[in-house]
Structure 1
Amino acid sequence: MTSMPLAEELLLLAYDDQTGKATGSRIGLDLGMAAAVLVDLALAGRIAYVDGFLKVLDATPTGEPIADLVLEKAAEAEPHTPAQWLQRMRHRLRTRVLEDLVARGIVQDVDETQMGVIHVHRYPTTDPAFEAEIRKRLADALTTGAICDERTAALATLLFSCRMEPALRLPQEETARAHDRLEQIASGAGFMAGGNMEDSIVRPSVALVVATLSKAIQAALGTPKPA
């Protein structure tokens, strides 16, 4: 199975398969998905954090429509900070990602009318194979202690930063341990400030996006309560 964009993976984890409704913080997911697009572009070598701004290193399309639209705009516009990009991207991103998933038959759009006039959309899963593969990768990363691949480490980092541990659907007594393991994975991959940055330009760039995401999440949701 081909890999999905990180923003799609986050969304599938956040939406209940049966009800088709989002769980957790709406703004947290929207910010996380915006950060995920930037992380994907950084991992693909298209953008990097330079002199306080995210700048385009390579404008070659990646083949992912949403990421390529952001890349095109970034190449044409004045450079923006990670914080500016998160706020610019988050407002309609969820709708666009859902439309793409519906078009590919991964979720369905159930349009319901409430009180005769209010349209409410739900997005239950129609092809569970994609989310099953995502959850297996995360379960392996959380339970085996082995070094996971780069994309799984990036997803773990985003889950940690967005406080999305409940989306893992673990028993309550395992949630705190999962939180610690997600942080270990993120730090070990060099995707968080203070981690192992190696000699790569990618990891510092991802770390700055993640740090910006964490600040935005804290501003929106407040300081997390102790586990």
Structure 2
Amino acid sequence: MDDLTLADELVLLAYDDNGSRKLGQPALGYGLAGALLVELALAERVDVVDKKVTVLDPTPVGRPLLDQALARIADDKPRKPGHWISKLSKKLTDEVLDGLVAGGVLRREEDRVLLVFPRTRFPAPDGVQPAAETDARARMTSAITSDGPVDPRTAALCALVKAVDYDRKVFADLPRAVVRKRLKVISEGDWAATAVRKAIEEVQSAITVAVIVPAASS
């Protein structure tokens, strides 16, 4: 499969080696929608102007989900990231998983729990952690445990993991205080173009409102 998108990597992190999902909904869907927006900012297709997503270049990037998102944004007026996170998140987890299955990164297994309840899992074809996930985890761990510059894609993935409150699981083997401090530095750091940093900031804020606040009040 071609190089994975941020959404692909986030899904791989969200599923364990047995193919079971460990990051709940709607957090995962919102995180994936945020990943699309950040990916489009990295590709210099969108910017965040006055806290609204604005299209800079409607030219497709050659990845179906990204191009579909870009077309929807281009056909509308500038709107806040929270609007697009809500709109784009619908059925997005299934679509990203379908792409990973089609690319041979994951496989789909369907069975029944207690012979009654249907269950769908998405393990790797060889039964071990996909190489792409291993690479993503290694890049993120290196970013957390060092104090040097972080490449934009890894920094963006770290910021997305933090936004969906999944960093405890991804960095479970590292000291919590170190992780939190370093994630803050990475999320706010001068590691990418201004447009990408603004996208990350707005996406993080929108996901926090969409996911964390309702959970706290329930």
Q: TM-score, normalised by structure 1?
A: 0.85
Matches within 5 A, 1:19-58: 20-58=19-57
Report the Cα distance in structure 1 between the residues aligned to 2:207 and 2:125, rounded to whole angstroms: 31
Determine whether 1:101 maps to 2:103.
no
Contact 2:51/2:202, CA 8 A, preserved across alignment: no
Q: For CA contacts below 8 A with separation 6 or more, give which structure has more relative contact order.
A: 2
Change in 2 beyond 3 A, CA 1:167/1:3? farther
Q: Deviations over 1:174-213 (max 9, x none)?
A: 233212211211111478xxxxxx7x33322332222222
1:221 maps to amino acid: A
| Unmatched tracts of structure 1, length 5 or more | 192-197
Separation in structure 1 between the aligned mates of residue 155 and residue 62 of structure 2, nearest angstrom: 22
CA distance change for structure 1 residues 177 and 52 in 2, over 3 Å: closer, same or farther? closer
Q: Relative to structure 1, is the Cα distance of residues 139 and 40 closer, same or farther in structure 2, using a 3 angstrom cutoff?
A: same
2:171 and 2:179 in contact (8 A); partners too:
no
Equivalent residue number for residue 9 of structure 1: 9
Kept in 2, the 8 Å contact 1:8–1:97? The answer is: yes
Identity of aligned residues (%): 34
* Matched-pair contact (CA < 8 Å) for 2:33–2:89: yes
Q: Deviations over 1:101-146 (max 9, x none)?
A: 0001111100113465643110012262111110110111011221
Q: Among residues 162, 165, 170, which one is paired with 1:163 in the alignment?
A: 165
The equivalent residue for 1:195 is: none
Q: CA deviation at 1:37?
A: 0.5
Runs of 4+ in 1 over 6 A off after TM superposition: none
Provide closer, same or farther for how the CA distance between residues 180 and 35 of structure 1 changes in structure 2, counting only shifts above 3 A. same
Retained in 2: the 8 A contact 1:165–1:175?
no
Structure 2 distance, partners of 1:104, 1:24, is 22
Are residue 176 (structure 1) and residue 177 (structure 2) matched? Answer: yes
State whether residues 42 and 206 of structure 1, in contact with CA within 8 Å, keep that contact through their aligned partners in structure 2. Answer: no
Separation in 1, partners of 2:161, 2:15: 14
Amino acid at match of 2:24: S
Is contact 2:150–2:191 with CA below 8 Å preserved after alignment? no
Structure 2: where are the runs of 5+ without partners? none
1:155, distance to aligned residue in structure 2 (A) = 0.6
> Could you tell me how far 1:78 is from its partner in structure 2?
3.3
- CA 1:145–1:3 in 2, change beyond 3 Å: closer, same or farther? farther
One-letter amino acid matched to 1:201: A
CA distance in 2, matches of 1:88, 1:42: 18
Residues 156 and 182 of structure 1 are in contact (CA less than 8 Å); yes or no, is this contact kept in structure 2? yes
Partner of 2:133: 131
- Assess if the C-alpha contact under 8 Å between 1:33 and 1:90 holds in 2: yes
Deviation readout 1:87-108 (Å, 9 max, x if unpaired):
1111200000000000011111
Match of 1:194 in 2: none
TM normalised by structure 2 equals: 0.88
* Cα distance in structure 1, aligned partners of 2:113 and 2:78: 44
For 1:130 and 1:41, how far apart are their aligned partners in 2?
21
Structure 2 CA distance, aligned partners of 1:48 and 1:146?
A: 26
What one-letter code is carried by the residue in structure 2 that aligns with 1:164? Y
Instruction: Give the count of matched residue pairs.
Output: 214
